[in-house]
Amino acid sequence: MNDKDLLQRFLFENVPVRGELVHLDESYQAILQQHPYPPLIRALLGEALAVVCLLSAIIKVKGRLTLQFRGKGKLKLLLAQCDHQSHLRGIVQHEGDLTPSELLEAQQQGILAIMIDSDAPNATRYQGIVAWEGASLAQAIEGYFMQSEQLPTRLWLAVDEKRVAGLLLQILPKEKSELLVTDDWERLLLLTETLTSEELLQCDSITLLRRLYSEEEVRVFEKTLVQFRCKCSVQRSENAILVLGQEEAEEELKDKQKLVVTCEFCHKEYSFDRVDVMAIFKKGGQASSTQMH
């Protein structure tokens, strides 16, 4: 088993705080291989992937959690998604190679949101807007938890060429109003602040927990393997053709034998001939689901 792409949940026995550590290696590289991203975009995507892994484990919904940015500036789309089986995928659409200040500017020209889709029948999508406050994605997520859930949360993220790592600490929901928590929380934050990006990337979870919290009693849970796996399907490709519209689809088929839908996450190709396309629009007239991602 690959021991690099792991999510480790833990709990402090005597302090009402939970934590998670995530390391992405092969899964991150597999996602990067899909598109040639410039370094800054690679790093942003890496951070977003670590965030969705960490958050999907907290939320514990059978379904998927998506972090999505849609913008009008040079950053058009940032999408990272993780489901309850820790299957991960992500994509960025951008204009050229962005400088740090251009990226910051682009982030102000769009909306960042967290979405939760449950697999339960008739479940409605949860969507929360995240304000780009502070200088980093980690700070934006911390602000989101404070404002929307009143849950003190801290995130540490580190990215290099090939790997991503993240650590999350959060006060347990039912304990948040107890005054006693504050001192313990501050102590844990001080201990965690000693962590360097290098340590976070290089050390395995158990070594890190021992190093950071040697005086604390920490309960660790079973590790979860994180994998790059796409959720694309024939059905979703059919929906993409429906969104394209009948006129456009027929136009495409004029010169070609087949209409090919390529998944932007994994580059898998789904091809449909004229008969297939006609059937899609016939079927689509009765039931219309146009969700593409």
Give Cβ neighbours of residue 167 (< 8 Å, ≥ 6 apart): 19, 20, 21, 22, 155, 156, 192, 195, 200, 208
- Residue (170 or 239) nearer to Zn ion, CB: 239
- Grouping H, G, I as helix, E, B as strand and the rest as coil, residue 19 is strand
- Grouping H, G, I as helix, E, B as strand and the rest as coil, residue 209 is helix
Residue 91, interface with Zn ion (CB under 5 A)? Answer: no
- Residue (185 or 228) nearer to Zn ion, CB: 228
Q: Considering the complex, what minimum distance in angstroms separates the CB of residue 229 from Zn ion?
A: 9
Residue 266, interface with Zn ion (CB under 5 A)? Answer: yes
| Residue with the two structure tokens 């890190």 | 208
- Residue (17 or 79) nearer to Zn ion, CB: 79
Torsions phi, psi of 27, nearest 5?
-65, -40
Letters for 225-244 (x = contact with Zn ion by CB under 5 A, - = none) are -----x-x------------
Letters for 42-81 (x = contact with Zn ion by CB under 5 A, - = none) are ----------------------------------------
Distance CA 60, CA 230 (A): 20
Distance of CA 27 to the CA centre of its chain: 12
Residue 31, interface with Zn ion (CB under 5 A)? Answer: no
Residue type, 154: R
Q: Considering the complex, what minimum distance in angstroms separates the CB of residue 27 from Zn ion?
A: 14
- Report the interface residues with Zn ion, using CB under 5 A: 230, 232, 263, 265-266, 268
